[in-house]
Amino acid sequence: MIVFGISVQVLFAQFAPQAGLSGTTAIHKDSSVFVNWAIGGTITRGWKDISDKSLGLAEVGDESYIPGMAGNGIVSLGDGGQAVVTFNKPIKNGPGFDFAVFENGFIDQTLKPGTAFLELAFVEVSSDGINFFRFPAISNNDTTIQLESFDGIDASKINNLAGKYIVNYGTPFDLSDLANVNGLDVNQITHVRIIDVVGSINESFATKDSRGAKINDPWPTPFAQSGFDLDAIGVIHQRDDVGTTEIRSEQIVVYPNPLQRNGEIHITTGHNTSLDVKLINLIGEELMHERTENGWSNLTDVPSGVYYLHISTDNGIVYKKVVVQ
């Protein structure tokens, strides 16, 4: 009788490595694959340190840094913070990757060889601005020892998490990963939501990947520039058959802005056209929806805060930020 000895090892899948290494999927910001960039978005700040809320919220950057190509400044989301980002044409599911998210990670001599300082985030998409669906994120980082504030991460251990790559290199996402999700049209992505990963392995604060495993990234980062730093979102495949650029934002005037609670708001386009108007809050929830002709005033009982008007005409779509006092 012959007995064969079999050595069984638990092997975690390895994913694409850091920018500059063979097999990476990192895309440089100057790549010709990008056909467009985000045009705006809203931010909901997270804490500098979710375990010590007395330190307050993250502070660096604001919504003005979201539009345009990477390298024009960042906005820090803080622990658990989020950004809902919009585009002038919907993103569509094409061959290969469809868009890429940029952060400002780095490599230096203080880090363990083969690692980079990376702050991670979940990525979700929506085809209606209301219902969001998350890419299936995986983190194979060890979760027995907390990564400290400036420790490094091996990019080959993470997948479908924004922030995988260092500054100037986008982490790409393929909408095919969500092609069979009910309620999502992968050829009509109008919003991308970025949600900071709280990298704590403490069960009280931990965030988890698609398998329920804790995600360990450098934490805490109790500074003004805390959590995921959103630089830009570049579009690779978009719907060019949708005329969302045929009407310019400056052609639509919303007034008064700011306005008082229960006050009337008016929308003019400079010509007679039918408007389909949705009022959306900072987390993408639709609060009101009305079809109107050059004017809209149904803001009764809307709480004070910052909102977006999603204004559709026969010639395209425009987003306008409004403040209710």
231-281: pLDDT as tens digits:
999 999 999 876 444 455 556 778 888 887 777 777 877 666 677 888 877
111 within a domain of the structure (yes/no): yes
> What integer pLDDT is reported at residue 113 of this predicted model?
94
Residue 139 has pLDDT above 90, yes or no: yes
When mean pLDDT is compared across 1-15, 80-94, 148-162, 225-239, the lowest value belongs to 1-15
Same domain, 94 and 231: yes
Check residues 222 and 276 and name the one with the higher pLDDT: 222
91 within a domain of the structure (yes/no): yes
pTM of the model: 0.74
Same domain, 218 and 71: yes
Residue 285 has pLDDT above 50, yes or no: yes
> What integer pLDDT is reported at residue 301 of this predicted model?
75
Same domain, 271 and 171: no
Same domain, 182 and 281: no
Q: How confident is the model at residue 284 (pLDDT cuts 50, 70, 90)?
A: low
297 within a domain of the structure (yes/no): yes
221 within a domain of the structure (yes/no): yes
> What integer pLDDT is reported at residue 244 of this predicted model?
42
Same domain, 146 and 294: no
Residue 108 has pLDDT above 90, yes or no: yes
Residue 316 has pLDDT above 70, yes or no: no
> What integer pLDDT is reported at residue 208 of this predicted model?
98
CB atoms within 10 A of CB 17: 19
CATH code where residue 295 lies: 2.60.40.1930
When mean pLDDT is compared across 75-79, 197-201, 276-280, 296-300, the lowest value belongs to 296-300
Domain end residue (candidates: 212, 242, 272)? 242
105 within a domain of the structure (yes/no): yes
16 within a domain of the structure (yes/no): no
278 within a domain of the structure (yes/no): yes
> What integer pLDDT is reported at residue 4 of this predicted model?
33
Same domain, 282 and 178: no
Residue 184 has pLDDT above 70, yes or no: yes
Same domain, 152 and 235: yes
Check residues 322 and 122 and name the one with the higher pLDDT: 122
CB atoms within 10 A of CB 125: 26
Q: In terms of residue numbers, what domain contains 49?
A: 25-242
Check residues 165 and 72 and name the one with the higher pLDDT: 165
Domain end residue (candidates: 242, 274, 301)? 242
Q: What is the mean pLDDT of the chain?
A: 87
Same domain, 41 and 84: yes
Over residues 148-163, the mean pLDDT reads 97
Q: How many domains does the chain divide into? A: 2
Domain end residue (candidates: 242, 263, 280)? 242
> What integer pLDDT is reported at residue 7 of this predicted model?
34
Q: How confident is the model at residue 5 (pLDDT cuts 50, 70, 90)?
A: very low
131 within a domain of the structure (yes/no): yes
User: Distance between CA 27 and CA 152 in Å, rounded?
Assistant: 20
Same domain, 199 and 307: no
Residue 125 has pLDDT above 50, yes or no: yes
Residue 117 has pLDDT above 50, yes or no: yes
Same domain, 222 and 256: no
Same domain, 209 and 279: no
> What integer pLDDT is reported at residue 261 of this predicted model?
75
Residue 286 has pLDDT above 80, yes or no: no
> What integer pLDDT is reported at residue 315 of this predicted model?
65
> What integer pLDDT is reported at residue 259 of this predicted model?
80
> What integer pLDDT is reported at residue 71 of this predicted model?
94
Same domain, 45 and 144: yes
